[in-house]
Amino acid sequence: MAEERPRRSPALYVHTINDPAVYDRYRKIGVFGIYTDFISPPKPGR
């Protein structure tokens, strides 16, 4: 699970996250890349 990812592990990617709240949660816990069908890239300062 992403919550258990060690600090020096390989980059973690998740697939098909289409809910902005879930997207934000994964980014906050250190997921490196997120594949989505709908979400635009984050705006500067977000």
pLDDT tens string 17-44: 889 899 899 989 888 888 888 766 667 7
User: Does residue 2 form part of some domain?
Assistant: no
Number of domains in the chain: 1
- Which residue range is the domain that position 31 belongs to? 9-40
User: Does residue 3 form part of some domain?
Assistant: no
For residues 2 and 14, the model is more confident at 14
Residues contacting 9, CB < 8 A, separation 6+:
none
Cα 7 from Cα 16, distance rounded (Å): 24
- What confidence score (pLDDT) does residue 10 get? 79
User: What residues are paired with 33 via a beta bridge?
Assistant: 13
Per-residue pLDDT, averaged over 8-25, amounts to 86
- Whether the model clears a pTM of 0.85, i.e. scores above it, the answer is no
- What confidence score (pLDDT) does residue 5 get? 54
- What confidence score (pLDDT) does residue 3 get? 60
Cα 5 from Cα 11, distance rounded (Å): 10
Q: Can you say how many angstroms the Cα of residue 28 is from the centroid of all Cα atoms in its chain?
A: 7
